Amino acid sequence: MPRLGRKDALGLLRTMWLIRLFEERVGQLKRADEVFGLIHLSVGQEGVAAAVCSQLRDDDAVYSGHRAHGHSLAKGAPVERVLAELMGRSDGLCGGLGGSMHLVDAEHGLMGATGVVGGNVPLALGSALAARLGGGDRVAVVFFGDGAVQAGHFNESVNLAALWGLPVIFVCENNGFAEFTPRSAHTKVERVSDVVAPYGVTRDTVDGNDVLAVRNGFARFLKAARNGEGPLLLECLTHRLRGHYEGDPAHYREALAAEDWQEKDPILRFQRHGVDAGWWDEQALEAVAGEARDAVEAAVDFARASPAPEPGTTRHLVYAPSPAPDGAAPAAGGGGTRQTTYLKEITTALAGAMRADPQLVVIGEDVAEGGPYTATAGLAEEFGTERVINTPISEAAICGVAVGAAQSGLRPVLEIMFIDFITLAFDQLVNQAAKAYAMSGGQLSVPLVVRTQGGGGQRGGAQHSQSLEAWLTHVPGLKVVMPSRAADVPGLLASAISDPNPVVFIENKTLYFKREEVPDEPEPVPIGSARTVRAGDHVTIVALSRMVGDAVAAADRLAEQGVEAEVIDPRTLVPLDLDAIVESVRRTNRLVVAHEAVEHGGFGAEIAAAVGAAAFDFLDAPIERVGAPFAPVPFSPGLEDAYLPGSHEIHAAALRALA
């Protein structure tokens, strides 16, 4: 165990006093309406943050939860910028975009705090994975409360960390309450360290109010993690003096007698120990507390003087800046073509991307064996299972791992084998990946591609046949692409992989094995660029994914009737190439929008609204929408065939628009 000398002891004491006085001042500022939002204070738990973070380096990743002030300050975040963030000022850690529950200081290794209980746990695994693949002895540490342990993604994450032997240390601050509920009311397992026992995780429970006990326990675990012996869990039994949030009357808790708190208070206990050890006297203690108080008051002055963010700041921080589209012409291939399938183009494009970028990893269920449709077949043989990584059936955890890995320098391509199952990963995708860049004030980017398969037609029933792209397009920070043909797959997948933002790459299963003629050399396809599939002057048909082929079939039938339809494939839903659609509608004066998803609330409604706003004066007829009925996808072949829209429905909609 590393021996604690006077210098390090003073460092611990300074950190604890800084956290204590900072949070007490924040409580005052909250009551004065100078600090905003939900504020969760950790008064009484300072010893854990100080003992843990004092032993970490800046290149070690730390993740926190909604009670993040202490962890942030202990990891080295400037106190004045933390307070400015809580006041919503532009000089805050995240420019005022994150607030108390979403603190990030990437420079010092604080990779994010989250307001979703336990939502930070899978992210830490991603940073640990990046650390292991990068070599060296970096570790990831994640703080959470005992309430997070009952969440499904916690157990998924512990299992995954143990399975992969990741250098991650779970630090549970067990204060006995999950929000307003005592531990005895939400679990029969008294100790968190017992929860992880079946996974074979090295674990220990210590007195969290004893900073030396926490320091010594964490030191053992840190040495083991740096030596590749993770994961590990340190449970710190603590007592929090405040309620769950500032303003919480805390009637559900018994008041702690003043004399009892004198014995439990981690600062007072450590001060008494230091006096006995000869580290300091009363005068030195007064000086340490005074320095912390002065630092906090200077932070208050700094934060008050900091300007509010400009009103347009939010719009500029939805997406990290993407690289300029590659305007170079494709390499000469003699203008030839070849026969292939959509599925083969995915495999080929992934292999090419992995050869070009050693930071690219493929993650997902059974991907090393090729996945359910063989999209990743052969990749493990060429690149090894360190880069083509099989996972348990744990969508929440594996999506969080991919997000954390992307934030930490890797470029993950995650496969969620059916879009129906992406619902299980929505917390990580929607609350973490999509918001990381904005909430961190631009500190974090998430270069993540989520490949998933949607659509019906294969008799998969209602839980394997949905088209849920509209859900995803409603989330700022995500990009959504839907290639409709093999020729677009390489270009779109390359653009998605090179993008610094999370991109959901939706493939339609019925297109996988269709043979197509494609150019010998793949063409670049920038994200946000539509394709005019068929030119026409009488009606515009915008179709998504599989429906593009149906739209062409409908257009051919219309041509036999003397109607020339223009068919547009957006290829990307977010960002949408609205200019291309509007330009077409201004010529044809009519619009039909078609997709396989349920018509009600589908993405076609967004296209219709956007075109209506941009080209209303050019429309000679109401916009027609084609989609599935408002019902789950049926299983019976006859019922499913009747349910799914196709060329007949598009043809009929075009005739209505022309009537």
Q: What is the mean pLDDT of residues 293-299?
A: 97
pLDDT of residue 559: 98
Q: What is the mean pLDDT of residues 106-119?
A: 92
Cross-strand partners of 411:
360
pLDDT at 178: 63
Whether residues 561 and 608 share a domain: the answer is: yes
Q: Are 87 and 33 in contact (CB under 8 A)?
A: no
Percentage of the residues of the chain whose pLDDT score is greater than 90 = 82
Domain stop point among 251, 284, 305: 305
- 244 classed as catalytic: no
Tell me, what's the pLDDT at 597?
97
pLDDT digits (tens, 9 = 90+) for 526-582: 999 999 999 999 999 999 999 999 999 999 999 999 999 999 999 999 999 999 999
Q: Are residues 469 and 387 in the same domain?
A: yes
Residues 66 and 98 in one domain: yes
Mean per-residue pLDDT for 225-252? 82
Q: Of 40, 66, 102, 464, which residue is the catalytic one?
A: 464
Taking the C-alpha atoms of residue 71 and residue 51, their distance in angstroms, rounded to an integer, is 10
| Contact by Cβ (8 Å): 335, 366 | no
Nearest to 482 by CA among 509, 501, 500: 509
Region 161-185: what's the mean pLDDT?
83
The answer on 577 and 515 residing in a single domain is no
| 70 and 218 housed in the same domain | yes
Q: What is the pTM of this model?
A: 0.93
Domain termination site, one of 496, 519, 542: 519
**Is the confidence at residue 278, as pLDDT, over 50?**
yes
Question: Measured between alpha carbons, how far is residue 121 from residues 63, 111, 128, 171, 642 in Å?
Answer: 8, 12, 11, 10, 44
Cβ–Cβ under 8 Å, residues 271 and 9: no
Q: Is the pLDDT of residue 128 over 90?
A: yes
Residue 22, C-beta contacts closer than 8 angstroms, at least 6 positions apart:
69, 73, 79, 82, 83, 292, 296, 299
Helices (H) and strands (E) in the chain, counts: 24, 22
pLDDT at 333: 47
CB-based contact 532:584 (threshold 8 Å): yes
Tell me whether residue 310 is in a domain.
no
297 and 389 assigned to the same domain: no
- The pLDDT assigned to 150 comes to 82
| Domain CATH for 171 | 3.40.50.970
Same domain, 79 and 44: yes
In this structure, the answer to whether residues 498 and 601 fall within a common structural domain is: no
- pLDDT given at position 321: 94
pLDDT for the residue 263: 78
- Tokens in use for 243? 């309620």
Known active-site residue 600: no
Q: Which amino acid does the sequence have at 279?
A: W
Confidence of residue 328 (pLDDT cuts 50, 70, 90): very low
Residue 243 predicted with pLDDT over 80: no
> Do 158 and 209 belong together in one domain?
yes
Look at residue 583 and tell me if it is in a domain: yes
- Domain containing 584: what range? 531-658
User: In this structure, is residue 320 part of a structural domain?
Assistant: no
For residues 235 and 158, is the Cβ–Cβ distance under 8 A? no
Instruction: Let me know if residue 524 belongs to a domain.
Output: no
Alpha carbon of 516 to those of 485, 511, 513, 547: distances in Å?
8, 10, 9, 16
The answer to whether position 1 is within a domain reads no
- Is 653 in the same domain as 552? yes
Confidence of residue 379 (pLDDT cuts 50, 70, 90): very high
Residue at 347: amino acid letter: T
Catalytic residue among 23, 235, 395, 599: 395
Number of domains within the chain: 3
Mean per-residue pLDDT of the chain: 92
Helix axes 282-305, 79-86, angle to 10 degrees: 50
Residue 192: per-residue pLDDT: 84
Closest among 217, 294, 278 to 10, alpha carbons compared: 278
The pLDDT value given to residue 335: 75
Task: List the CATH number of the domain containing 570.
Answer: 3.40.50.920
- Residue 268 shares a structural domain with residue 355: no
Tens-place pLDDT, residues 534-543 = 999 999 999 9
- Residue 448 is predicted with a pLDDT of 98
What pLDDT score does 327 carry? 44
| Bridge pairing between strands 337-341 and 177-178 | unpaired
Given 495, 519, 543, which residue is the final one in a domain?
A: 519
| Residue 86 sits in the same domain as residue 209 | yes
pLDDT band at 185 (very low <50, low <70, confident <90, very high): low
Q: What are the DSSP calls for 443-467, one per residue? A: S-----EEEEEE--SSS--TTSS--
Domain membership of residue 331 (yes or no) is no
pLDDT at res. 332? 42
Distance CA 628, CA 649 (A): 10
Would residue 48 count as lying in a domain? yes
pLDDT at 44: 86
**478 falls in which pLDDT band (50, 70, 90)?**
very high
Report phi then psi at 575, rounded to 5: -75, 145
Could you please report the per-residue DSSP string of 302-323?
HHHHSPPPPTTHHHHTSSPPPP
Residue 250 pLDDT > 70: no
